[in-house]
């Protein structure tokens, strides 16, 4: 009876929400123009709900919340190592068999010998190292350790990065809307920002520590990098203020390389934005302008300096550990795969394998299961069909024309290519793809979809805009529900795999006791 009652409450709220989103609702008449205190409060409230829904469940599984740390506390150990004056991770005496092995990266041989070693670390010249990006250590773990005297449990760092990422998504979507499609409805903006935020980080909710700490740190750096670059290029600011925005964009973009390099490849988006910036603010200028050509060149170089400074620091960090400025430790992992034998990137360049990997990453399909929650991990476009709207929208000639007229066409083309480029990078640098790696691309696909939806909305007739806003709002709600179901799939020691009774209870509530 209690499951029936809980189910009635849940579905009653869902049906009420869907009724409020009907096409005749006043919600589809309010735009983001003239954001008064009420509208701003609604946005802040919605963002707060999304943030709470994402970060609060992260502590549910003992495997990820620090109760069973195993190898997932590497950021904490790395902070201690730096405070102790070295870059290797000190776990005491190293197994002599590992030191004597001809190839310590051979998993089967390690298993045969019964070698004792910490899982998923880099091992080089008799020391263990962390191959995950070190930037989160300096941004969060070290300051926390120095200020409080205690180590920060890793999943809390993921919570911080997710919080900042979601705020970044809401900020970026608002900045883009104000500049390019200011008549977009408030409800569509909020629901699209909410759904694409959750799509981007839902995997980190179920498995927050270590792996997703790196992922979400990279996402956080990149989303804020794009926020600042968009304000620099399309913010209609003075040259000096645009340069200041570009400096912060460069800083966050550079830091992403020290979090998760595949995510940081999104810095390629800077190229079309730089080209547009130079068209708006030419180096050779008229005498009426305040800055001389030389001054503008110096300021542009200054804006790019974070890339140089952070790049040099990361290369120095890598060289001090592996005697190679371009080696992050990927080749020396102690995992299932022997990546030391992979050779150069070009030696792994298999066109057939890459093509199959791209197809798998975007359109693979696993049939529905008979057991709740019924879903499996499919390709990105199958998991979240709303993403397909980007392709559909780009086929519209009016939309393409609007993108070109607003000088955002080249940015959109590069943005469209980025998920494929990052997928190829993941294929070349990793033994295999999995659902967690799609975090590298979901946020880019969501950003592209949002831009296309915005321009599609602006090209609709006044009579069809409400209906379009209604449809997109419903799709956003369906996307959020899909994220919820995917979160419930028993996987990667998440709460439903660790405690199957949780899945049974949720399933019975949604089925109203049946």
What number is the average pLDDT over the span 21-27? 91
Is beta strand 122-124 parallel, antiparallel or unpaired with respect to 127-129? antiparallel
What average pLDDT score do residues 404-427 get?
Answer: 96
CA distances from 8 to 12, 17, 373, 483 (A): 6, 14, 18, 21
Report the distance separating Cα 51 and Cα 227, nearest Å. Answer: 19
Q: pLDDT per residue over 125-180, tens digit each?
A: 999 999 999 999 999 999 999 999 999 999 999 999 999 999 999 999 999 999 99
* Position 286 pLDDT exceeds 70: no
Angle 306-291-408 from CA coordinates, rounded to 5°: 60
The pLDDT assigned to 284 comes to 62
- Contact between residue 446 and residue 417 where contact means Cβ atoms under 8 Å apart: no
Q: How many Å apart are CA 47 and CA 255, to the nearest integer?
A: 25
Residue 463 CA, chain-centre distance (Å), reads: 36
**pLDDT value of position 43:** 97
Lowest mean pLDDT segment, chosen from 136-150, 329-343, 375-389, 455-469? 329-343
* Residue 195, number of CB atoms within 10 A of its CB: 27
Q: Is residue 75 within 8 Å of 162, Cβ to Cβ? A: no
Distance CA 232, CA 318 (A): 32
Q: How confident is the model at residue 350 (pLDDT cuts 50, 70, 90)?
A: confident
The pTM of the whole model exceeds 0.75? yes
Cβ atoms < 10 Å from Cβ of 23: 16
**pLDDT > 80? residue 344:** no
Q: Which uninterrupted H or E stretch holds 216?
A: helix 211-234
Contact status, residue 366 vs residue 426, Cβ threshold 8 Å: no
Half-sphere exposure in the Cβ direction for 382 (13 Å, CA) = 16
- So what's the pLDDT on residue 463? 83
Question: Could you give the C-alpha distances from 361 to 111, 149, 438, 489, in angstroms and in order?
Answer: 31, 43, 8, 18
58-62, 139-143, 286-290, 361-365: the lowest-pLDDT one: 286-290
3-state class of 202 per DSSP?
helix
Handedness of CA 335, 337, 341, 346 (dihedral sign): negative
| Cα torsion through 178, 179, 180, 184, rounded to 10 | 0
C-alpha atoms less than 13 angstroms from C-alpha of 300 in its C-beta half-sphere: 15
Residue 138 is given by DSSP the state: I
How high is the mean pLDDT of the chain? 93
Question: Tens digits of per-residue pLDDT, 446-496?
Answer: 999 999 999 999 999 888 999 999 999 999 999 999 999 999 999 999 999
Confidence band for 287, pLDDT divided at 50, 70 and 90: very low
Among the listed residues 432, 485, 469, the one whose alpha carbon sits nearest the alpha carbon of residue 25 = 469
pLDDT of residue 89: 94
- pLDDT per residue as tens digits for the range 171-219: 999 999 999 999 999 999 999 999 999 999 999 999 999 999 999 999 9
- pLDDT tens per residue across span 95-135: 999 999 999 999 999 999 999 999 999 999 999 999 999 99
**Structure-token match 């409450």, residue found:** 9
Task: State whether the Cα torsion 109-327-203-263 is positive or negative.
Answer: negative
What pLDDT, on a 0 to 100 scale, did the predictor assign at position 340? 79
């Amino acid at each position: 009876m209690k499951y029936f009652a809980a189910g009635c409450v849940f579905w009653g709220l869902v049906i009420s929400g869907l009724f409020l989103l009907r096409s005749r609702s006043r919600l589809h008449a309010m735009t983001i123009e003239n954001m008064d205190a009420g509208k701003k409060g609604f946005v802040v409230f919605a963002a707060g709900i999304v943030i709470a829904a994402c970060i609060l469940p992260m502590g549910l599984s003992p495997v990820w919340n620090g109760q069973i740390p195993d190898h997932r506390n590497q950021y904490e150990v790395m902070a201690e190592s730096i405070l102790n004056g070295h870059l290797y991770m000190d776990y005491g005496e190293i197994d002599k068999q590992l030191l004597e092995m001809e190839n310590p990266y051979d998993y089967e041989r390690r298993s045969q010998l019964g070698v004792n070693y910490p899982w998923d670390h880099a091992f080089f010249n008799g020391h263990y190292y962390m191959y995950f990006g070190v930037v989160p250590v300096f941004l969060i773990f070290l300051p926390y350790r120095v200020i409080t005297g205690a180590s920060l449990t890793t999943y809390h760092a993921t919570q911080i990065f997710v919080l900042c990422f979601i705020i970044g998504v809401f900020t970026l979507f608002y900045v883009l809307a104000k500049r390019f499609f200011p008549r977009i409805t408030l409800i569509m903006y909020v629901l699209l920002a909410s759904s694409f935020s959750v799509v981007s980080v839902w995997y980190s909710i179920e498995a927050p520590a270590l792996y997703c700490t790196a992922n979400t740190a990279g996402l956080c750096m990149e989303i804020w990098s794009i926020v600042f670059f968009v304000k620099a290029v399309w913010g209609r600011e003075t040259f000096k203020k645009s340069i200041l925005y570009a400096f912060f964009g460069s800083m966050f973009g550079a830091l992403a390389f020290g979090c998760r390099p595949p995510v940081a490849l999104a810095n390629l988006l800077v190229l079309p934005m730089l080209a547009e910036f130079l068209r708006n603010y030419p180096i050779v200028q008229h005498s009426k302008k305040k800055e001389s050509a030389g001054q503008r060149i110096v300021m542009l170089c200054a804006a790019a300096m974070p890339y140089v400074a952070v790049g040099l620091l990361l290369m120095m960090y890598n060289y001090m550990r592996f005697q190679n400025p371009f080696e992050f430790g990927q080749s020396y992992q102690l995992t299932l795969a022997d990546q030391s034998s992979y050779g150069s990137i070009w030696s792994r360049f298999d066109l057939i394998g890459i093509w199959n990997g791209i197809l798998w990453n975007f359109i693979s399909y696993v049939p529905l299961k008979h057991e709740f929650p019924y879903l499996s991990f499919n390709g990105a476009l199958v998991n979240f069909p709303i993403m397909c709207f980007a392709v559909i929208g780009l086929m519209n000639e009016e939309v393409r024309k609007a993108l070109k007229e607003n000088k955002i066409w080249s940015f959109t083309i590069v943005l469209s290519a980025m998920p494929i480029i990052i997928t190829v990078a993941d294929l070349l640098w990793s033994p295999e793809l999995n659902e967690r790696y799609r975090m590298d691309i979901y946020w880019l696909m969501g950003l592209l979809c949002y831009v296309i939806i915005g321009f599609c909305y602006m090209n609709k007739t006044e009579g069809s805009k409400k209906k379009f806003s209604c449809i997109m709002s419903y799709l956003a709600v369906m996307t959020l529900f899909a994220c919820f179901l995917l979160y419930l799939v028993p996987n990667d020691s998440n709460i439903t795999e660790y405690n199957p009774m949780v899945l049974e209870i949720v399933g019975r509530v949604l089925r109203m006791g049946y």
